[in-house]
Structure 1
Amino acid sequence: MKMKIEQLYTGCLAQGAYYIESEGEVAIIDPLRETRQYIDKAEANNAKIKYIFETHFHADFVSGHVDLAKKTGATIVYGPGANTNYDIHSATDNEEFRIGKLTIKVLHTPGHTLESSTYLLKDKNGKDHAIFSGDTLFLGDVGRPDLAIKSDLTSEDLAGMLFDSLRNKIMPLADDVIVYPAHGAGSACGKNLSKETVGILGEQKQSNYALRADMTKAEFVKEVLDGIAPPPQYFAKNAMMNKSGYADFEDVLKQGDKPLSPDDFEALANHETALVLDVRPQADYTKGHIPNSIFIGLNGQFAPWVGALITDIKQPIVLVAPEGKESEAITRLSRVGYDNTLGYLEGGIKSWKSSGRAIETLESISAETFAERIKNDTVNILDVRKDGEYNSSHLENAQHFALDFINENMSQVDKNKTYHIHCAGGYRSVIAASILKARGFTDLVDVAGGFGAIKKTDLPTTDFVCPSTL
């Protein structure tokens, strides 16, 4: 039987888990929280999951290693120095594991975190075939070295370790070795990750800025640390869950997947201080929503935005979801450690209306209407895109109010003003508006289609111009 390597990619998290099989034995690398998919895949192939390899203590999602080990008896493997509250095999550098006719070799590559390891897969003939590089090496980038700070280590120290790991462990490998990273574009674990999710090491040696052959360690440290945004607040909490363990996913799903009448829904919101989280498409939210509900739609980068904006990871949550999407919402919440969903509104917003309860709307206008308003009046504009997006190009007189840091920057907005809010495409602006509405802002207007639509009008923008080198 040939070796089988399958990348199981989750776009919302920009995360790749891996299924490796040979001769009826399976290794899973960096599994997601919902483990049934791996078990079903192995059973369908009459194979047994033998090892669960973790490249490091993930910060951007809760891994499924603990549940998967309980269900299969597989051994959890971490790199050197990993300490957990559950049983693992803490591997030594260069230790090898057998999967059928394949060999998986541990390359300790500290830098992103101290225990970070790259797994080198050798084929049945002992030839280096692929690396599963975790957050050590991405396509086009490397992992951020500021997430595992201890009292005696700085981000500069960790960046220096990462430089050595790349030069001593990964760059000496052959150019034809396949690179399977843990993340792609959209992840906050690096700065400029490629949209591609599989690559070749030789290509990375040529194109990845961090692998330049003539690069000094000092240059590497400076370039890797330059422009890194602060990590989302949930990163440290997810890393701790991955080290300490967590509730069974099935229990989390069972607790949350409960239909609630409007009476019960309202009681939980009022008496259990549950957050009303509306996960429908943004157009549905603007047309009618429960007062004080927060919008974060399933149709965008749902889990990362939940993690960035809901500061209490144990926050009780009740859902307003599209019909049939309730369990998906609970699952995606659990991927970033939000395990306290208490139920969902049965019948959705229609049942809320039918019960005679109040709903609110959010004014949403086209970019063309927005342009006409600006020409005819003074308009307060909130641009809620990320720093890099705003700095690249923005409307003249727009106030930058990045959604990432909305909780920290509420003092920058005035409840007595009317604000027109835009992002890049219309998703984040509605999130921002919902948060502002829940905090007492009443005069808010969403610009549908965001900056992409605005750029098609004749409104003047301020674009970034690269300084002349002459």
Structure 2
Amino acid sequence: MQIDIIETTGLGDRSYLISEDGVGVVVDPQRDIDRVLALAEKRAVHIALVVETHLHNDYLTGGLELATTVGADYVVPAGDTVEYERVPAGDGDVLEAGSMRLRVLHTPGHTHHHVSYVLADADRNVQAVFTGGSMLYGSTGRTDLVGPEHTDELTHAQYHSVRRLADELPDGTPVFPTHGFGSFCSATPTSGDSSTVGEQVAVNPALTQDEQTFVDQLIAGLTVIPAWYSHMGPGNAVGPTPVDLSMPRPVDPTELAERLAAGEWVIDLRSRTAFAAGHLPGALNFELALANFVTYVGWLVPFGAPITLIGETEEQVADARRELVRIGIDRLAGAAVGSPEALAAGRELSSYPVSDFTGLAAAMAADPDLVVLDARRADERAGGGVRGSRHVPIHDLPGSIDEVPDGNVWVYCGSGYRAAIAASLLTRAGRRPVLVNGGYGDPDSGAAAAGLHDDSATS
């Protein structure tokens, strides 16, 4: 029996292909199913089952299309109301695929109807457990995605679900969660790339704390929910349409200029330093970094708003499109490929300076009234910030530009990625930003190393 991990780094998720004797089972597939199909072909297996642990909140599933394409049974938790044919998975059910057996455990918490799948071989020996958004590596799935009125109930349920997994499974059982590798579906940061039930007994908060302490700490630590999440559960209940990974319609320089003049979302995929050095006026910089890109496009761009991509190559645009379809951004208005100079067609480019925390320290020493903007989330800001800085989380900035003073604005975040988005938004609004490009917490070059960190800078 073989278990292959299919990473989706941009969303912090994993899907799985289980293979044995020419038969395959897929767990929680992402929407771009070509990756699964290619792996199944490589393993020479026929996919007999496609199973979901829950109706996902951070991506649109590829399960329905995959099951339809290969003629597999599509298994969804029995309690979820959906608008398509499926095999309902209820507590205690046993699903068969060749010699493999998957026992369904109802593990509510992340959602009301969430299930986990215990994998066993033909001799009923437990091989693994697929825990979705229940037991994660050193954490659990967050419990506030269904609605705030359900959070307390689901947090208590999550505690008992994780304990049920630990009680019913052998300590050596490998744990394969869907979330927890950077996903905002994790209640708290996870640790490690692999684990077993026995290892989790020693480190997982649901297994090391009493119930009320676990509930109180989890709820207190919940962070803001990305905007696109509200569209994923309903989309998965209806059933996502077949995925389209084709190249968007080409946009020439004249049309591109019109879209920029109209204030549309024109997204430049280049690196933050290349963008800062020269870009089309009005373009916004969402660098195609696979750990951040789709998160912040989905968070900042109003769902359904027309998006035009600018890429250096067609491959870059294709990669961006793949990332975006995973959260249902399907209808791109178009794409332009080429250097900013070529796409400007003679028009002047915009630019802004790039510095670091050492440069920021020097600038603040020269000008005590310098405007400094912190684009991190509130939970990051709670640990302190640059002294005297103003805090506007990046997801709030589009609606809060008027709160940022005119003139020069130095902007930073945890790594430089969100600061680059903020700088491009500020430039479009007529401000003059300086991008602080670097890791806030870097011991050698971050804010503290430059003498800028202030524990009291939390508002």
CA offsets 1:417-470 (integer angstroms, 9 cap, x no match): 4211111222111111112233x23221111225233437542422479xxxxx
Structure 1 SS opposite 2:143: coil
How much has 1:246 moved relative to structure 2? 2.6
Identity of aligned residues (%): 27
**What is the CA deviation profile of residues 366-400 of structure 1, one whole-angstrom value per residue up to 9, with x for unaligned ones?**
43332221111121111112233323242211222
Contact 1:21 1:100 in 2 (8 A): no
Aligned to 1:167: 163
Q: Which residue of 2 aligns with 1:239?
A: 233
Aligned to 2:276: 286
User: 1:97–1:274: structure 2 CA closer, same or farther, 3 Å change rule?
Assistant: same
Alignment of 1:425-444 (within 5 A): 425-438=415-428, 440-444=429-433
- Matched to 1:125, the amino acid is D
Shift of 1:240: 1.4
Separation in 1 of the partners of 2:62 and 2:40? Answer: 16
Q: Which residue of the partner structure matches residue 358 of structure 2?
A: 368
Aligned equivalent of 2:183? 187
Q: Which moved more, 1:220-229 or 1:186-195?
A: 186-195
Secondary structure (helix, strand or coil) at the match of 1:325 reads helix
Deviation at 1:267, TM superposition (A): 4.5
2:440 is equivalent to residue 445 of structure 1 = no
- Pair 247,265 (structure 1): closer, same or farther in 2 beyond 3 Å: farther
Q: 1:205-224 to 2 correspondence within 5 Å? A: 205-212=201-208, 215-216=210-211, 218-224=212-218
Instruction: Report runs of 4+ in structure 1 exceeding 6 Å deviation.
Output: none
Partner residue in 1 for 2:129: 131
**What is the rounded CA distance, in whole Å, between the counterparts of 1:327 and 1:288 in structure 2?**
23
SS in 2 for 1:52: strand
CA contact (8 A) 1:234 1:307 kept: yes
1:406 and 2:397 correspond: yes
User: How much does 1:63 deviate?
Assistant: 1.5
Cα distance change, pair 5–448 in 1 and its aligned pair in 2 (3 A): same
Is 1:200 paired with 2:200? no
User: Helix, strand or coil for the counterpart of 1:260?
Assistant: coil
Between the aligned partners of 1:126 and 1:396, the Cα distance in structure 2 is 60
Q: What do residues 23-42 of structure 1 show as CA deviations (whole Å, max 9, x unaligned)?
A: 21111111111111211222
The answer to whether structure 1 residue 390 and structure 2 residue 381 are counterparts is yes
Structure 1 residues without counterparts, runs of 5 or longer: 466-470
Q: TM-score, normalised by structure 1?
A: 0.90
- Counterparts of 1:17-416 in structure 2, within 5 Å, are 17-149=15-147, 153-212=149-208, 215-216=210-211, 218-250=212-244, 253-254=245-246, 256-267=247-258, 274-299=264-289, 300-310=291-301, 312-323=302-313, 324-353=315-344, 355-378=345-368, 379-407=370-398, 409-410=400-401, 412-414=403-405, 416=406
CA distance in 2, matches of 1:119, 1:83: 20
Residue pair 2:352, 2:432 contacting (<8 A) in 1 also = no
Q: State how far apart, in whole Å, the 1-side matches of 2:453 and 2:261 are.
A: 44
Which one-letter code corresponds to 1:129 in the other structure? Q
Give the Cα separation in 2 of the matches to 1:369 and 1:223.
Answer: 38
SS at match of 1:124: coil
The number of residue pairs the alignment matches comes to 451
Deviation at 1:301, TM superposition (A): 0.8
CA contact (8 A) 2:223 2:379 kept: no
- Report if the CA contact (8 A) 1:304-1:336 is conserved: no
Cα distance 1:458–1:160, how it changes in 2: closer, same or farther (>3 A)? closer
Q: Partners in 1 of 2:94 and 2:403 — Cα distance?
A: 55
* Aligned-residue offset at 1:334: 0.8
State the shift of 1:83 in Å.
1.4
Confirm or deny: 8 A CA contact 1:181 1:198 kept in the other structure.
Answer: no
| Aligned CA distance change for structure 1 residues 195 and 207 (closer, same or farther; 3 Å) | closer
Per-residue deviation, residues 335-357 of structure 1 (Å, max 9, x unmatched): 1111121321132423213x112
Cα offset, 1:302, TM superposition: 0.7
Q: How does the TM-score come out when normalised to structure 2?
A: 0.92
Q: Is the 8 A contact 1:78 1:115 kept in 2?
A: no
Contact preservation (8 Å) 1:156, 1:221: yes
AA at the equivalent of 2:46:
K
* DSSP-derived class of the 1:144 partner: coil
